[in-house]
Amino acid sequence: MGKGGSLSEGVIKNIIISYTYVAIWIFLSFTVIVYNKYILDKKMYDWPFPISLTMIHMSFCSTLAFLLIKVFKFVEPVSMSRDTYLRSVVPIGALYSLSLWLSNSAYIYLSVSFIQMLKALMPVAVYSIGVLFKKEGFKSETMINMLSISFGVAIAAYGEARFDVWGVILQLGAVAFEATRLVMIQILLTSKGITLNPITSLYYVAPCCLAFLFIPWIVVEFPILRDTSSFHFDYLIFGTNSFCAFALNLAVFLLVGKTSALTMNVAGVVKDWLLIAFSWSVIKDTVTPINLFGYGIAFLGVAYYNHAKLQALKAKDAQKTAQQVDEETGRLLEEREGNEGGRKNEPDD
């Protein structure tokens, strides 16, 4: 084959690899959500201890992240002082622990499909908190879009057959804490030039989560577990569940590294629709037409938000490229003028 054929083969290979990473991420994200629902739901495995489950995940992930970084040298650790760790990583760990605790708790009260619909509020929460902390500029157009997403989720909630107020409060709290965590990452880490991938993030943040979760666990769940003599730790269930949770983080690392964060956002939309379909067809959760109509409105709002973010990134990249070209042109002109000036100053024969 000629050069053109080789190039085509290379492009096709990259597309196949990208779609493979996307498929793996969707599968693992799908599996973790359904698996957590299975463990926590009282009608299924019936182990309603979300703090304990989150602590098991964090212990497993901390151990594997340590092995990947310190023993197998899979990724390089980030250079970080103790002061930076305490001021930046610890607050993020606290927010992450609250987000995981509340989101896992919501599985006890709400259907998988409805939880995915409520998660559509994430862009609204991130934008609102970003404006509050002055990381995002207030724009009327964006705010109208945020209101349309909220309106769609409200319609979906109105049509929910198994609406539970406490479950909704838990999920909305999880969204709020997760959105705050994402904004705090920009303020406390990114602004200082510190970038954590999912593996190094687990290495630094998971032990913090474990420490913060220990306090409510001692008060809320430990007394019940202590008095439940019938409970025996199921290594197969909790081991495979924890491994899936860690594999999901590794998949995020590979997916973003090989494609982009925007690809993951688009894949996330596909995953949400698959989860809603699975929840309705396999778990037999009730999904009403009003549910779908409301989520459809929210979905369009989220899609427009992602499109606007992509256009903003493209404009920023184009501006950066133009600036680099201008700088390079200016440098070449200066060199040329310098060379011409040097020739003018040369003595005549």
pLDDT for res 170: 97
From residue 34, how far is each of 62, 113, 115, 206 by CA, in Å?
Answer: 23, 10, 11, 22
- In angstroms, the CA 60 to CA 242 distance is 6
> Residue type for 266, please?
V
Range in 13-27, 129-143, 308-322 the model is least confident about: 308-322
Nearest-5° Cα angle at 118, 103 to 260: 80
Mean pLDDT of 121-134: 91
Give the residue from 112, 158, 125, 103 showing the smallest Cα distance to 302: 125
Q: Tell me the per-residue pLDDT of 36-69, one tens digit each, with 9 for 90 and over.
A: 999 999 888 989 999 999 999 999 999 999 999 9
Confidence of residue 339 (pLDDT cuts 50, 70, 90): low
Tokens linked to 86:
């305490």
Rounded to whole angstroms, the Cα distance separating 47 from 339 reads 78
The whole model's pTM is what? 0.83
Q: Any idea what the Cα angle at residue 343 is, between residues 337 and 347, rounded to 5°?
A: 150
Does 348 have pLDDT greater than 80?
A: no
Q: Give me the phi and psi of 96, to 5 degrees please.
A: -65, -40
pLDDT of 257 reads: 66
CB 143 within 8 A of CB 54: no
Residue type at position 127: Y
- Which pLDDT belongs to residue 1? 47
